[in-house]
């Protein structure tokens, strides 16, 4: 069964450093998403992406965040200058169509020291 994969599973970084989280969506999916979950809190929407453009973003997704589909398989989330409060699980998701079921990856645990 096809799955969304994410790398790395755990990323530790120093405050102020740039990080790139990587995702490989399910191959025939066209819509991609990033969510995050701070420990003990709700899963929060960050951004949706289709046809090489951001379609919607939340207030969390400020100028420090960016997304890219650098090739035909990867979907990345970049945080330019990490803050302590960026520490969270980051989940990538993908769906075939815009109203189809979203399938989530296993997540990347980001720890900012």
Q: Kindly list the distances between the CA atom of residue 41 and the CA atoms of 32, 36, 81, in Å, as whole numbers in the listed order.
A: 22, 10, 23
Contact pattern from residue 53 through residue 92 relative to other proteins, giving x for each residue in contact according to CB under 8 A and a dash for the rest: --xx-x------------------------------x-x-
- In the complex with other proteins, the residue whose CB is nearer, 93 or 112, is 93
Among 34, 48, 65, 88, binds other proteins (CB under 8 A): 48
Q: 6: which strand partners?
A: 23
* Residue 104 found at the interface with other proteins (CB under 8 A): yes
Omega cis (within 30) before 43:
no
CA distance 32 to 38: 20
CA distance 4 to 25: 5
In the complex, the residues that contact other proteins under the rule CB under 8 A are 4, 31, 33, 35, 42-45, 48, 50, 55-56, 58, 89, 91, 93, 95, 98-107, 109
């Amino acid at each position: 069964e096809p799955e969304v994969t994410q790398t790395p599973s755990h990323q530790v970084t120093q405050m102020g450093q740039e990080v790139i989280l990587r995702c490989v969506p399910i191959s025939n999916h066209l819509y991609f998403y990033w969510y995050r979950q701070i420990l003990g809190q709700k899963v929060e929407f960050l951004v949706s992406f289709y046809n090489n453009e951001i379609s919607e973003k939340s207030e969390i997704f400020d100028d420090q965040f960016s997304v890219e589909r650098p090739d035909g398989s990867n979907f990345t989330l970049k945080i330019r200058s990490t803050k302590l409060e960026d520490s969270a699980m980051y989940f990538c998701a993908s769906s075939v169509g815009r109203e189809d079921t979203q399938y989530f990856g296993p997540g990347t645990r980001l720890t900012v020291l």
